[in-house]
Amino acid sequence: MHHRRIVATAAALAAGFAFLPGQAYAADPAPNAVQAPARSGWELPGAKTFTSPAGNSSRVQGEAAVAARSAAVPSTGRTIYVVTRTTCTSTGTGTQAAPFCSLQRGVDAAVPGDTVQVDGKDEGASPPSAMEAVVVRTSGLTLLAGTNAPRMMSFNDAAGKPALTLDGVSDVTISHLTFSGGNAPGLLIKGSSRITLDSDQLTGSGGNALAIDGTSSTITLTRSNVGMSWPVIGSSTISVAAGAKDVTLAGNLVQGATTDNSQTQYQATGGIAATGVQGLNVVGNTIQRGCLPAIAVDGASTAVSIQNNVLVETAAVADCDSGQPAVTVSAESAPATTTDYNDFYAESATGAGPYRWAGTAYPTVAAFKAAQSQGAHDTVETVAPQRVNGSIAYALQTGSAAIGTANQSAPGALTTDYFGHGPMTDRGAVKFQSNNPGFAMALTAKNTSAYGVSLDLDVTTLPVAQDIYIQWGDDSTDVLNFYGNKPVKTTAGHVYKKLGDYTITVTDYEKTGNTIRNTVKVSTFGSQYTAYGPKRLLDSRDGTGLPAAGRVPASGTVKLKVGGANGIPANATAAVLNLTVTGPAADGYITAYPDGGQRPTTSNVNYRAGQTVPNLVMVPIGANGYLDLYNGSGGSTDLIADITGYFTPTPAAGFAPVGPSRLVDTREGTGAPRGQIPGRGSIPVQIADAAPGLPTGITAVALNVTVTNPRGDGYLTAYPSGQDMPTASNLNFTAGQTIANSVVVPVGADGKIRVFNGTGAGVDVIIDVVGYYSAYQLGAFIPVDPERLLDTRDPATWGGGPLKGGYYAYLPMTKRLDIPAFVFNATVTNTGADGYLSVASDPNTLADYQSGYPSPVYVPSTSSLNWRRGSTVPNLVQVTPGRGVIDFFNQSSGNIDLVVDIFGYYQNG
């Protein structure tokens, strides 16, 4: 019979991670349990805080009602319905009930006066995509987006052709549609007239996004987003060929370069290029450009007006071999060109200047004004327009020279902006919203678990209703609604499905029309396991890992390089090592801890003079890649460290507990032939599917390995099946000794490991499995500052004396279901008789014990550490908390002192 003793832990994890005190079972005939007082809780150790102050929030524009942007739908003619699919095989008729599955079929069926309404079939992409190159040869059509408009792309078999071609047509209107060209323009207009494009998105690659040929006329592009993807060096986003007439480009976002892309083809691009055009209005656009001009007018162009534009020169221009000015006008075009009310912003101090006019470059706006009777109202922007989602810088900020200074009478000027807001009195494509001037948002994020973060939002705003959208960076979005009756200070939380770095984007839409956005970058806190080796990193006997061979002196510390060495990533957070002490001159202990941190009061390996003692450790790695090994002894010792894996804050292999279950017992013929492993012999051990809960696809396995009845001194080495045996050991023993050690060993491709007996005589081996690591498991490791939870020698915290033979101590831990296992170092000392320690989860909760009616507790058939009378023996233990309580069984007839230190835990969420 095992009698129970309660253990009240020395610390508690915050947020439900409670280490609670309890009472002994009232009917227990054993002496009353001694209750150690619980200390205050401890938060997630080393959890990081990520901030983005209110000053980082940028004002952006929310979209007005779609009707404010859309072109009018003709009131005559039919509506032909299209629902595009990736593979178009159906035979629709164009009705709403039986739509065509390709846009080409829709426009081919249309006659003048018809409207073709386009939606996309939801096939997993957002927005849906359609692969085809569409050609319109029928005049008088309207192409209009439905509620789920697709992105029309001329990729795959359609590559090399424009996504849309208007060929010899007139009176065609296209609204709210997206066209992306594959190695071609998104839209090509040739031989066409009276074409109206509004609120569209055009993307080109290998050339232009929009190309207008020289036989086209009366072309209007408004409130559209036009950009490049993999452009040709020297290309412009919009190209107007010689001979074209009456082209108006107004209220558009034109992206001729990206800011964060250092690739040459993105730098060496421009915005709008027109040659020999007769009538061109470039008005109220925001144009972002690279090495080429934002606006280039060449040939002998006439009736050209360039007004109210915001021209953004990206920092990439500083890297151009020969960056060109923002606006260039040829000598032949200059007499018939008007330029004024433009706002110039350069991200780099080494910008290329605002103008080259009739062959003369002007480095400043002032120099241009002084030399030409042009640009009297041009301004140099000192308040940077802000980017939205890292793309084009269009959002005007308070103090911008573009605010309220547009020429509303400029040819082609719109009355509403890109988003439908009006009146449009500002320069550029997007109107500045001036109410709620203090509108700003500060973000503070914190780690709350291995995968979780909390996000504090503090919004400075007028008391108006607002909707806040939190995009967590993993395709998840939460929406918070506020009604203007209280300050907007709140906390949201999220649990990621994978470890990694994420950018949280928060957008606040307040109901008077203002929108702000802020972002904060966060990293998850947990780490997952990567199997490695085994490989010897340290051996003081021969100088491995040290400047020279030599014993670790009394009270000495060895600095061991782990992260950033031997192929181990520099961002490794913790290492799994087998530490072996051999030949110590005096009693002592080894403490492993991260370099740069304070040495804890706990121990990892305890030894007596002359002993050889191994122990598995999971130890955090310092920020510099080192960990420290302290010899807490009055004498020197040799020290060996073999690594079997490491943890990183990126997806790898997660931990899952099993059992404990016995896999091998050579004494009984369990899992191996009955009989001792012969000297210098090895046995294969099946891991995959070898016990309940052990699947295939295991990266590494966590075991407790025990040697008994050895006929000589020696060691055991566990290593992956199919690989060469490494120069490393997991367990060292002397003749006649029974000793156990925890082992984490990589699993071979065949689902097996091998165990080698490194002695000249036979030995019995017992192997118990306690868990495994797999890419299919979530369990992420969180190392904690080592903390002593229990020490039966300490009367101040324990007070109950040694744990008697046949007794067990139960340790309340946590009720959290997302914590599959804890990592302890258990040490027995002052042992009164030979025996062993079993550690397992309890079938009861703490409340069951406190009620006085707990369920029976059964002693497991496995062992975690073995000892001889009078010895001190440590071992690492990985154990599931079950229903929140963990049991430590003294499987001997004598008293023992038990010391339990926590080194970390795993978390699934």
Q: Using H for helix, E for strand and C for coil, what is the string for 692-748? A: CCCCCCEEEEEEEEEEECCCCCEEEEEEECCCCCCCCCCEEECCCCCEEEEEEEECC
Strand-pair category, 465-471 with 452-460:
unpaired
Fill in the DSSP letter of residue 542: T
Does 153 or 717 have the greater pLDDT score? 717
Q: Cβ distance 100 to 109 under 8 Å?
A: yes
Distance CA 608, CA 604 (A): 14
Q: Which of the four pLDDT bands, split at 50, 70 and 90, describes residue 154?
A: confident
In this structure, are 10 and 155 located in the same domain? no
For a pLDDT cut of 70, what percent of the chain falls above it?
Answer: 87
**Contacts of 523 by beta carbon, 8 Å cutoff, 6+ apart:** 48, 50, 500, 501, 502, 649
Classified as helix, coil or strand, 676 is coil
Express each pLDDT in 130-144 by its tens digit. 788 899 999 999 999
Asked if residue 692 has a cis previous peptide bond (ω within 30° of 0), the answer is: no
Name beta bridge partners: 170. 193
In this structure, are 510 and 574 located in the same domain? no
857-861 long-range contacts, Cβ below 8 Å, gap at least 24? Answer: 857/2, 857/4, 857/808, 857/887, 859/2, 859/808, 859/889, 859/891, 860/660, 860/889, 861/662
Q: Is residue 119 part of a domain?
A: no
Q: Which of the four pLDDT bands, split at 50, 70 and 90, describes residue 837?
A: very high
Express each pLDDT in 14-23 by its tens digit. 222 222 222 2
Amino acid residing at 524: T
**Contacts of 436 by beta carbon, 8 Å cutoff, 6+ apart:** 461, 462, 464, 510, 512, 514
pLDDT for residue 89 is more than 80: no
Amino acid residing at 865: L
Q: Cβ distance 452 to 496 under 8 Å?
A: yes
CATH of the domain at 604: 2.60.120
Distance CA 111, CA 118 (A): 16
Amino acid residing at 148: N
**Contacts of 263 by beta carbon, 8 Å cutoff, 6+ apart:** none
Structure tokens at 137: 């040869």
Q: What is the mean pLDDT of residues 850-877?
A: 86
Does 795 or 248 have the greater pLDDT score? 248
Q: What is the mean pLDDT of residues 685-690?
A: 90
Query: Residue 126: what pLDDT?
Result: 57
**Contacts of 868 by beta carbon, 8 Å cutoff, 6+ apart:** 737, 738, 831, 834
Express each pLDDT in 59-82 by its tens digit. 775 443 333 344 444 446 899 999
Distance CA 612, CA 590 (A): 13
Query: Residue 274: what pLDDT?
Result: 96
Q: Is residue 86 part of a domain?
A: no
Does 90 or 345 have the greater pLDDT score? 345
In this structure, are 635 and 665 located in the same domain? no
Distance CA 340, CA 346 (A): 18
Express each pLDDT in 155-167 by its tens digit. 777 778 898 999 9
In this structure, are 334 and 349 located in the same domain? yes
Domain that holds residue 848: 3-42+780-907
Structure tokens at 211: 């190309």
Instruction: Give the chain's mean pLDDT.
Output: 85
Using left for φ > 0, alpha for ψ between -120 and 50, and beta otherwise, residue 321 falls in: alpha
Q: Cβ distance 739 to 714 under 8 Å?
A: no
Distance CA 551, CA 562 (A): 20
Query: Residue 284: what pLDDT?
Result: 97
Overall residue count recorded for the chain in this entry: 909
The residue among 435, 351, 347, 419 whose CA lies nearest residue 383 is 347
In this structure, are 233 and 322 located in the same domain? yes
Q: Is residue 305 part of a domain?
A: yes
Q: Is residue 91 part of a domain?
A: no
Classified as helix, coil or strand, 73 is coil
In this structure, are 535 and 673 located in the same domain? no
In this structure, are 212 and 235 located in the same domain? yes
Distance CA 595, CA 5 (A): 37
Query: Residue 261: what pLDDT?
Result: 44
Q: What is the mean pLDDT of residues 375-380?
A: 95
Query: Residue 166: what pLDDT?
Result: 98
- Cα distance between the two ends of the chain: 38
Handedness of CA 364, 366, 367, 372 (dihedral sign): positive
Strand-pair category, 236-240 with 210-212:
parallel
Count how many Cα atoms sit within 13 Å of the Cα of residue 476 in the half-sphere of its side chain: 13
Distance CA 543, CA 547 (A): 7
Query: Residue 33: what pLDDT?
Result: 32
* The last residue of a domain, from among 715, 747, 774: 774
For residue 367, with 0-12 CB atoms within 10 Å meaning exposed, 13-18 middle and 19 or more buried, which class applies?
middle
Express each pLDDT in 542-585 by its tens digit. 999 999 999 999 999 999 999 999 999 999 999 999 999 999 99
Q: 3-class secondary structure for 717-729?
A: EEEECCCCCCCCC
798-802 long-range contacts, Cβ below 8 Å, gap at least 24? Answer: 798/34, 798/36, 799/34, 799/36, 800/5, 800/31, 800/33, 800/34, 801/34, 801/895, 802/830, 802/832, 802/895, 802/896, 802/897
In this structure, are 273 and 152 located in the same domain? yes
In this structure, are 260 and 317 located in the same domain? yes
Distance CA 896, CA 730 (A): 26
Q: Cβ distance 328 to 291 under 8 Å?
A: no
Q: What is the mean pLDDT of residues 379-403?
A: 81
* The last residue of a domain, from among 342, 364, 381: 381
Residue 832: Cβ within 10 Å count: 17
Element (H, E) at 190: strand 187-190
Name beta bridge partners: 902. 787, 824
Structure tokens at 602: 């706990």
Distance CA 71, CA 420 (A): 12
Distance CA 78, CA 101 (A): 18
Express each pLDDT in 621-633 by its tens digit. 999 999 999 999 9
In this structure, are 485 and 570 located in the same domain? no
Residue 303: Cβ within 10 Å count: 15
Q: Which of the four pLDDT bands, split at 50, 70 and 90, describes residue 168?
A: very high
Distance CA 643, CA 629 (A): 14
What are the start-end ranges of the E strands in 205-331? 210-212, 217-222, 225-228, 236-240, 245-250, 253-255, 270-275, 278-283, 286-289, 295-298, 302-307, 310-313, 327-329
Query: Residue 830: what pLDDT?
Result: 93
The residue among 900, 541, 557, 871 whose CA lies nearest residue 733 is 871
Residue with structure tokens 């250092």? 262
Q: How many domains does the chain have?
A: 5
Query: Residue 65: what pLDDT?
Result: 34
The residue among 605, 515, 662 whose CA lies nearest residue 829 is 605
Q: Where are the alpha helices (DSSP H) in 543-589?
A: none
Fill in the DSSP letter of residue 670: B
Q: Is residue 586 part of a domain?
A: yes
Helix and strand element counts for the chain (H, E): 4, 68
In this structure, are 700 and 591 located in the same domain? no
Express each pLDDT in 171-192 by its tens digit. 999 999 999 888 888 899 999 9
Q: Which of the four pLDDT bands, split at 50, 70 and 90, describes residue 390?
A: low
Q: Is residue 75 part of a domain?
A: no
Query: Residue 314: what pLDDT?
Result: 78
Structure tokens at 40: 């205050």
Q: Is residue 478 part of a domain?
A: yes
Element (H, E) at 394: strand 393-395
Q: Cβ distance 667 to 830 under 8 Å?
A: no
Amino acid residing at 542: D
Query: Residue 394: what pLDDT?
Result: 81
**Contacts of 457 by beta carbon, 8 Å cutoff, 6+ apart:** 441, 442, 443, 468, 480, 488, 489, 490, 491, 492, 506
Name beta bridge partners: 728. none
Q: Cβ distance 723 to 692 under 8 Å?
A: no
Asked if residue 534 has a cis previous peptide bond (ω within 30° of 0), the answer is: yes
Express each pLDDT in 277-316 by its tens digit. 999 999 999 998 878 899 999 999 999 999 999 998 876 6
The residue among 787, 791, 814, 811 whose CA lies nearest residue 801 is 791
Express each pLDDT in 882-896 by its tens digit. 888 888 999 999 999
CATH of the domain at 502: 2.60.40.10
Q: Cβ distance 243 to 214 under 8 Å?
A: yes
Q: Is residue 728 part of a domain?
A: yes
* The last residue of a domain, from among 648, 666, 693: 648
In this structure, are 753 and 869 located in the same domain? no
Q: What is the mean pLDDT of residues 216-237?
A: 85
Query: Residue 797: what pLDDT?
Result: 75
Strand-pair category, 682-686 with 731-733:
unpaired
Amino acid residing at 139: S
